């Protein structure tokens, strides 16, 4: 029975952790895991009892009040420091437990229990001191750059060697005689934690945080081994394993081993910039002059569009934003420091209202802890689907009109690829330099925490808007909202161009061109597809578009077809991945960012009359917002009304291309035309 209860709680904990893999479910995962741990604590107390209940209750109350007070006071920018502090608290708690158990069970403990206790004296202590140093750096209390002592590596190695030797000696000594060794192990381990953490800084801080998270879990598991508690072993091992995996991912993102994170091959050579060093009256400036060798390198990396410098960089930035169709935003620690995430979201909404396609590029080590940018942007309410990881977004930079860098430096520094021997050499970066235009909204043009000059700033397609990111974005927003006429003029020009294109080419050719030039495509199936048994041809077309690098998904209206789930069944028969079938509520916000909405046999469920016309059989019915896409390709049998009898105004939209006829035949023709064009 004891094991059954333990495994049940462990199972609930694992379920909670599993829920973390989807941002929308993460908060439920957090609550589930917390409930499992609370139950585990209650179970342990039930089994072993409490010797001094008043002391325990008072400690719980004091700790609980302090925890609630800290949680309410902490801001999002302080989260990394708080995470580091919590790791340290776990480490020192593990040390005290191990110390007490070793003292209490001197000479009576099993060999594994005693060795676990000795190891935990060191692990708990180094976790505590290393975490406190990390928290101090992240909070700005300590110098944030790496501090390297003379013979630093040898000091670390000697310290570690002596700690291991002392643990072996203490293992064979009687309990009372070993106490002195326990205390020496504690002192040396504290020093070891300080030594290895003080030489880590800047972009490597997320690696340090995830590593300390793993050692905290290890310390908890060792505590479980000392007191022979399966729950504590399992929970601690889970934290240690997840922290280790996260550490590996962070190291891979930095393209270096954990050993070289703690013992760099080469120390940073240049100091970093600080907020205090910000010169006055430097809100806006253009990039600096290039030296000859750097210029050659940057011209080889990209061939940016030359543009005549404007006397006012802000006006140039506004013009570039207005003329861009695709925008990638790269957030960094500077955005967090300036607390500019809300202005970033406001700008994003404005850009989307202007008809631009906007996504965020997230570097794995951006910020000061894993997922730092994700947390900040989630706080501001950004749609999580807009956040793209480095491997996913990097291939798209070359086709991006504008990259907007906000407070990021090392993670977009091309020197990481072009220069050997620097602290960031070999680190994968976001390829912002490949975009047609780049606007950097950074505090200054000094190096980031790595100390390496950012070659991106010197590119001729880079515009520097220097200063506090929050103020810079505020001025950019103000300038953009003051020039709606210019925006409208551009949109009108685009509509006229599209209109001329529409009247010049056959519908099939126009549809193929739009599908080939688009990046995001949503397919809308309807009853006409079912009647034509076109699901297999539609699947073939979708696969072809995906093989061409397009993002393809299917929008499912709940009443499409003649029974609930009709479209799902048909597409499942054609072996369409179920994850690509998106329900109406989830996909409707995406249509405004979609290049092509491809309708196959659907009518009433995409008829805007349901929204705009009252008194019809479909008035008020929610529809799929295909009309918001940049282009709509309708592959229906004819232009007659659907079963509602209401004429479909989508057919009259200037953005709509009509391909009338049997849906299966149309899908085959589109597939053949695209294959021929490729």
Give the dihedral of Cα atoms 548, 363, 398, 325; nearest 10 deg.
90
User: Helix or strand or coil: residue 15?
Assistant: helix
From the list 432, 479, 165, the residue with the least C-alpha distance to 314 is 479
CA nearest neighbour of 520 among 557, 545, 494: 545
> Hey, what are 140's tokens?
């700005």
Name the packing angle between helices 313-323 and 469-481 (round to 10°): 60
Phi, then psi, of 464 in degrees rounded to 5: -100, 125
Q: Find tokens 């290890």 and name the residue.
A: 218
Both tokens of 440, joined, read 């950097």
Show the tokens assigned to 6: 């333990």
356/348 Cα distance (integer angstroms): 9
Give the catalytic positions in this structure: 410
Provide the strand spans (E) within 261-372. Answer: 326-331, 357-362
Answer whether 193's CB lies under 8 Å from 135's CB.
Answer: no
DSSP 453: -
Inter-CA distances, 577 with 155, 221, 571, Å = 56, 40, 8
* Secondary structure tally for the chain: helices H, strands E: 26, 12
- DSSP-assigned beta bridge partners for residue 581: 554
* Residue 508, token pair as written in the block: 């099939």
């Amino acid at each position: 029975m004891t094991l059954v209860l333990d495994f049940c709680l462990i199972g609930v904990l694992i379920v909670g952790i599993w829920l973390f893999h989807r941002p929308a479910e993460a908060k439920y995962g957090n609550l589930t895991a917390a409930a499992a741990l609370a139950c585990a604590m209650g179970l342990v107390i039930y089994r072993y009892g409490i010797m001094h209940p008043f002391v325990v209750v008072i400690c719980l109350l004091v700790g609980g009040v302090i925890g609630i007070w800290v949680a309410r006071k902490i801001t999002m920018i302080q989260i990394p420091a708080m995470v580091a502090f919590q790791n340290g608290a776990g480490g020192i708690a593990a040390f005290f437990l191990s110390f007490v158990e070793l003292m209490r069970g001197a000479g009576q403990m099993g060999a594994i229990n005693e060795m676990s206790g000795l190891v935990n004296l060191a692990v708990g202590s180094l976790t505590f001191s290393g975490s406190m140093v990390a928290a101090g750096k992240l909070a700005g209390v300590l110098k944030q750059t790496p501090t390297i002592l003379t013979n630093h590596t040898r000091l670390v190695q000697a310290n570690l060697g002596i700690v291991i030797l002392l643990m072996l000696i203490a293992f064979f000594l009687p309990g009372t005689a070993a106490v002195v060794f326990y205390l020496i192990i504690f002192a040396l381990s504290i020093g070891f934690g300080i030594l290895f953490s003080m030489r880590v800084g800047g972009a490597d801080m997320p690696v340090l945080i995830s590593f300390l998270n793993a050692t905290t879990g290890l310390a908890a598991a060792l505590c479980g081994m000392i007191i022979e508690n399966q729950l504590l072993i399992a929970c601690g091992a889970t934290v240690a394993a997840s922290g280790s995996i996260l550490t590996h991912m962070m190291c891979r993102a930095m393209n270096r081993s954990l050993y070289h994170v703690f013992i760099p091959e080469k120390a940073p050579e240049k100091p970093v910039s600080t907020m205090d060093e910000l010169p006055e009256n430097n809100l806006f400036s253009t990039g600096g002059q290039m030296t000859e060798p750097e210029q050659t390198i940057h011209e080889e990396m990209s061939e940016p569009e030359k543009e005549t410098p404007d006397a006012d960089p802000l006006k140039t930035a506004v013009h570039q934003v207005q003329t861009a169709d695709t925008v990638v935003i790269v957030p960094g620690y500077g955005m967090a420091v300036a607390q500019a995430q809300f202005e970033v979201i406001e700008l994003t909404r404005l850009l989307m209202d202007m008809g631009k396609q906007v996504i965020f590029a997230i570097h794995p080590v951006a910020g000061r802890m894993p997922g730092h940018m994700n947390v900040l942007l989630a706080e501001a309410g950004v749609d999580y689907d807009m956040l793209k990881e480095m491997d996913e977004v990097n291939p798209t930079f070359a086709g991006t009109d504008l990259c907007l860098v906000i407070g990021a430096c090392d993670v977009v520094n091309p020197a990481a690829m072009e220069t050997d021997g620097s602290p960031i050499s070999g680190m994968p970066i976001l390829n912002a330099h490949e975009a047609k235009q780049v606007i950097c909204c950074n505090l200054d043009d000094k190096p980031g925490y790595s100390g390496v000059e950012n070659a991106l700033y010197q590119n001729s397609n880079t515009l520097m808007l220097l200063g506090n990111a929050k103020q810079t974005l505020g001025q950019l927003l103000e300038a953009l909202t003051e020039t709606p006429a210019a925006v409208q003029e551009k949109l009108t020009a685009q509509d006229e161009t599209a209109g001329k294109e529409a009247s010049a080419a056959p519908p099939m050719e126009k549809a193929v061109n739009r599908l080939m030039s688009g990046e995001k495509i949503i397919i809308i199936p309807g009853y006409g597809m079912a009647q034509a048994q076109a699901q297999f041809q539609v699947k073939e077309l979708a696969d072809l578009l995906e093989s061409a690098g397009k993002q393809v998904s299917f929008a499912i209206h709940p009443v499409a077809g003649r029974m609930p789930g009709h479209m799902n069944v048909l597409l499942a028969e054609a072996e369409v991945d179920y994850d690509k079938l998106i329900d109406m509520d989830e996909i409707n916000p995406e249509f405004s960012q979609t290049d092509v909405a491809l309708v196959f046999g659907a009518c009433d469920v995409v008829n805007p009359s349901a929204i705009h016309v009252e008194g019809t059989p479909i008035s008020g019915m929610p529809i799929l917002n295909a009309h918001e896409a940049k282009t709509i390709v309708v592959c229906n049998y004819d232009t007659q009304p659907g079963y509602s009898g209401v004429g479909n105004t989508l057919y009259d939209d200037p953005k709509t291309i009509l391909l009338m006829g049997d849906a299966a035949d149309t899908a085959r023709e589109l597939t053949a035309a695209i294959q021929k064009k490729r």
